[in-house]
Amino acid sequence: MFPCMCLPRREVSRWLVSLAAVAALGFTGNGDGGNRESRATDQTSVLLQPLRSAGATVVGPVDFRAAPAMAWLSDSTLAILDIDDQQAVIFDLDGTELRRVGRKGGGPGEFGGALTLLSNERGELAVGDVLLSRVSHFGPDLRFLRSVRLPGSPLHLLGWEGHGVVAMWAGLGPGLADPTVGYVDLETGTAAPAFTVFGADSGLAARLPGSPAPSPYLAAARVGWHTYVFAQPNEYRIVEIDMDGVVRRTFGRSDVERQLRTPDEIREMEAAFKRMLSQAGYTPPPEVRDMMNEALRAPKPHFLIPSFASDELGRLWIATLRGGRDSTELDVFASGGSFLGTVAVAHQVRALAIRLPLLAALVQREEPTFEGQSSIDVYRVADQAESGGEPDGE
């Protein structure tokens, strides 16, 4: 789920594996049942239509372990991350693999723990590497240009501005430094902090069960010019902060309660955790095992770390952990924070990428033929604006 789980590095690996595992709880087992049709509820003004008449366009399933990250490179190409080979993989909407970018390693254009992707309208690609604590920049031809070292591990690439990107990074050692948002200048090779998320009057410095410090693993997205949203997965409270570190608004859903995992879900998660530790070559101490047991038996998070995505209208889309075993409910908020409604889609959604009018969902499929494999479902977004109405928002 996170690259650190397959590419451990002593001293860093222990905390990356342990805390990422707690933060990632819930990637499998969304519950039982659930309607698999794409439908809207709660009077939402946003609908998803299958891109093709037979259903959503399906890219894949891919034959590698995909990280929960995805970006549109153009109107017809998408990039996702191969965890094992540490490469960005480019697909078209027919499911054809066009090329691979980067490779495993620590040299120029190589990745040790690629976690996040970001593209722009020019077709450039930025890749955040949590183990090497850097952002790598690839040009429109996807040739490597340069890497920029950060003061911490880049957990999110939030937006492209000028000749650089806005990123959220954090120190992931025992001190668990506050997540920091700053500007990464890809021309000068410098990174300048703007504000710390916990330092703002956000109320986000909450501790996970058994954690020695507030978790830096926040869901995050850009929703406007110099404005970003952040949330702890265990609380459906979203905080919008500008680049000056000023909290502009708080919104969310107080009507949604967290659910407990079923015994089957707990067993599945315990087995997945053991496999992950085995791949990392890491034997956790008793306190880490206790932390995992406590987290597994606590109510499920509302959503996961890579669950936020925004569109060009400033709307926030959240892939929640509600839904059936093979379905997901997407919550949609207007740019001003008002709740627009919920859209249900097939499969377990691990990440979203939006380039209006298209929405891509990186999903984990549970049908017998594809059990556990990832693929990309592509939908067309249809809303009031297409029928002559005004889109909700500021």
Confidence of residue 215 (pLDDT cuts 50, 70, 90): confident
pLDDT over 50 at 393, yes or no: no
Find the range with the poorest average confidence among 89-93, 208-212, 266-270: 208-212
Cis geometry, peptide bond prior to residue 357 (ω within 30 degrees of 0) = yes
Q: Which of 2, 55, 21 is nearest to 284 (CA)?
A: 21
CA atoms within 13 A on the CB side of 282: 28
Q: Which of 272, 275, 231, 268 is nearest to 250 (CA)?
A: 231
CA angle centred on 170, ends 169 and 171, rounded to 5°: 140
- 356 vs 291, higher pLDDT: 356
From CA 91, how far away is CA 374, in angstroms rounded?
Answer: 13
Average model confidence (pLDDT) across the chain: 79
Inter-CA distances, 126 with 141, 249, 376, Å: 13, 29, 20
Residues 6+ apart with CB under 8 A from 271: none
Find the range with the poorest average confidence among 1-5, 207-211, 283-287: 1-5
In this prediction, residue 304 carries a pLDDT of 87
Residue that the structure tokens 């509600």 belong to: 322
pLDDT over 90 at 370, yes or no: no
From CA 87, how far away is CA 111, in angstroms rounded?
Answer: 7
Q: Which of 91, 5, 73 is nearest to 374 (CA)?
A: 91
In this prediction, residue 259 carries a pLDDT of 79
Average the pLDDT over 4-8 and give the result. 35
Q: What is the pLDDT of residues 226-235, one digit of tens each?
A: 999 999 888 8
From CA 384, how far away is CA 221, in angstroms rounded?
Answer: 24
Find the range with the poorest average confidence among 31-40, 106-115, 129-138, 375-384: 31-40
Residue that the structure tokens 């153009």 belong to: 74
From CA 284, how far away is CA 23, in angstroms rounded?
Answer: 16
Domains and CATH numbers, the chain: 3-387 (2.120.10.30)
3-state secondary structure of 138: strand
Strands of 114-119's sheet, edge to edge?
114-119, 125-129, 134-138, 144-149
From CA 239, how far away is CA 381, in angstroms rounded?
Answer: 25
First to last CA, the chain: 36
Cβ-contact 97, 89 below 8 angstroms = yes
Average the pLDDT over 282-305 and give the result. 80
pLDDT over 80 at 392, yes or no: no
In this prediction, residue 14 carries a pLDDT of 45
